[in-house]
Structure 1
């Protein structure tokens, strides 16, 4: 921009006085700076929109796309540069300041890093930038925290506290299938095969896979369906007169209340999933089969979910190494 302004002033030097040249320079700088800022803002918006469209085409859910959008917009609002001019040091400072201001965990910071890596890698692949600035920012090391799972006693306590057939069927389906909460909410009655004790769920990336439930879940599910007299195609519906498909928030709220009233503690849908993975590995199910069961694309994700019981490690040591 400054080179352009100097060129214009040089051409006008023989026509304008010194004061006029100075004023012209000020006007040009103000006008071009404003125009440049507008172009940069529009460029940022267009590139982000194109990236989000690409993620949608890849099959990412609306929830994931919204998370990507808010994360990237927060970053650009803090750095205040065009995407194509952002450098590694800019992102390092942003992540550091975000952690300090928000008191964010290392896991959260690494999640942000992964989203930014996906975005800038896309910019690189599409030739908007030469090299992603995230390439030089390595994975954030996080402490391994052993997360709680539900014991057999916890599950029985939750079942006994259910005041209706729907809640009982929901708990059994989560406990025996290990499916994601979004997959459970999306199930229709026609997706269920009671005879074979299996159902078809639609997971991340709109990928379908079979999920299997046990005999207890079959009986409670059958009783729940027989008690209904509505025309809603959804497998699980709200308890009010609207007979609408239950929401993710509706199930989360109900489980949270059950956990609080029974003294089980914090109960959420994902805890059932982690419990199933842990129990499956403890009982000797091959990790590749647990991966299929949970619908994970990568096996290291399955390993992150499943925590092997330390007593089993001790028993294996005595069996194989003593």
Structure 2
């Protein structure tokens, strides 16, 4: 393949630096690429830049491209030779070195994916000899219940946070079920509040989508009220609060570290990583939402099997069938697992279980109801637009 040598080089009341520039994921990617010569030499830097250019043409986002770059830099430093001169023995030795360093399964998985994809691109071959032998295991797609976070654990983690940003981040990350890249890419203007809670507009690998949040909306509003850059719609929603990264976009390492710290404070012994919140939320909502609603909410393509996997693992349909076969009287609505008072997240009024709207302010008390109201509102708006079009046609004919 021809080489394109293109030179693509705690306390929220803190003071705001008016000259600060918000660093986007694209800015971070450019910084990483600009430093390549110093890290891996001119030849390998050119190869990696060309590879990143290819990934961009394939629609890969900047956050993912940064990860690919880091993995290829690490690989180049291990093999200590030009990447286009590497053979199978070099790759095997590099991966063996990776195994000896005690990295997590996910890190090793992503590393192998990056190396294999690089050589498929470089050799213009789907099965190049350097990496054809690499077997990619699938980690984390189907988590056992004991590996997932419970709602109580999520709330406990939020309660251990010492600032509003961390509290809001934990609750929104869980309730939205968003990918971590989608969360970190949010800007203040991507959040809107309404009578049901809030909606956030995220941009992910399947495009842009709107996510309804209810329980975490009050905490998100409180964080925004105290956000140092709250008057700038283009400011990052999640920013650094401390000296080193103050007012800069929160990045993946910082977010992952924050979540692990909160889990440790909460006494949670499970393996904690950002995507676990999405796994956990999907598992919980599989008991409530339809597969179609799951796909829309989590941003899965219509031909994706992920929604069906979570519904299958939830056992909701199988449980009902087995109980009926055993002659057991069952309630059709098996999603209510605890009989407890429900506190309205808007006015803090306590409500009895089994009702959908707050008796004091009328706000919906669960996500399913809020989604149904959103669907109804969108349908009414569409009908109104159609009526307006017909009215305009009629006026034109009469006039």
TM-score (norm 1): 0.65
How far the C-alpha of 1:50 sits from its partner, in A, is 1.4
Aligned residues: 274
Per the TM alignment, residue 315 of structure 1 is displaced from its structure 2 partner at its CA by 1.4
2:120 aligns with 121
Of 125, 130, 133, which aligns to 1:137?
A: 133
User: What residue is the counterpart of 1:198 in the other structure?
Assistant: 199
2:277 equivalent to 1:276: no
2:156 equivalent in structure 1: 157
> Residue 53 and residue 306 in structure 1: after superposition, are their counterparts in 2 closer, same or farther (change >3 A)?
farther
Alpha-carbon distance in structure 1 between the residues aligned to 2:165 and 2:126:
55
3-state SS of paired residue (2:178): coil
Residues 304 and 106 from structure 1, CA distance in 2 versus in 1: closer, same or farther, beyond 3 angstroms?
farther
Measure, in 2, the Cα distance between the counterparts of 1:303 and 1:108: 27
Deviations 1:202-234 (A, max 9, x none): 2248x32222212x2223333443455753433
Query: Which residue of structure 2 aligns with residue 34 of structure 1?
Result: none
Answer yes or no: is the 8 Å Cα contact 2:157–2:265 preserved in 1: no
Please, which moves more after superposition, 57-66 or 233-242? 233-242
Asked if 1:111 is matched to 2:114, the reply is no
Q: 1:290 maps to which residue?
A: 294
Determine which structure has the larger helix proportion and give its number. 1
Shift of residue 279 of structure 1? 0.8
Distance 1:102 1:243 in 2: 32
Distance 1:62 1:272, change over 3 A: same
**8 A Cα contact 1:116 1:134, kept in partner:** no
Q: Which moved more, 1:48-57 or 1:133-142?
A: 133-142
Give the C-alpha shift of residue 104 in structure 1. 4.8
Per-residue deviation, 1:149:
2.0
Q: Which residue of structure 2 lines up, in the alignment, with residue 179 of structure 1?
A: 178
Larger mean CA deviation between 151-160 and 112-121 belongs to: 151-160
Between Structure 1 and Structure 2, whose CA radius of gyration is higher? Answer: 1
Deviation at 1:103, TM superposition (A): 4.0
Q: CA RMSD in A?
A: 4.1
Return the offset for 1:51: 1.3
Contact 2:155 2:171 survives alignment (8 Å) = no
Q: Find the aligned partners of 1:159 and 1:73 in 2 and give their Cα distance.
A: 36
Alignment match, 2:169:
170
1:1-322 alignment, distance < 5 Å: 44-79=44-79, 82-88=82-88, 90-95=90-95, 97-104=96-103, 107-125=106-124, 132-133=128-129, 136-141=132-137, 146=144, 148-162=147-161, 164-195=163-194, 197-204=198-205, 207-214=207-214, 216-227=215-226, 230-233=230-233, 234=235, 235-237=237-239, 244=247, 247-248=250-251, 249-265=253-269, 268-283=273-288, 285-286=290-291, 289-296=293-300, 299=304, 308-309=313-314, 312=316, 315=319, 318=322
Unaligned runs of 5+ in 2: 1-40, 327-399
CA–CA separation in structure 2 for the residues paired with 1:161 and 1:277: 24
Q: Structure 1 284/302 Cα, relative in aligned 2: closer, same or farther at 3 Å?
A: closer
Mapped to 1, the partners of 2:161 and 2:78 lie a distance apart of 47
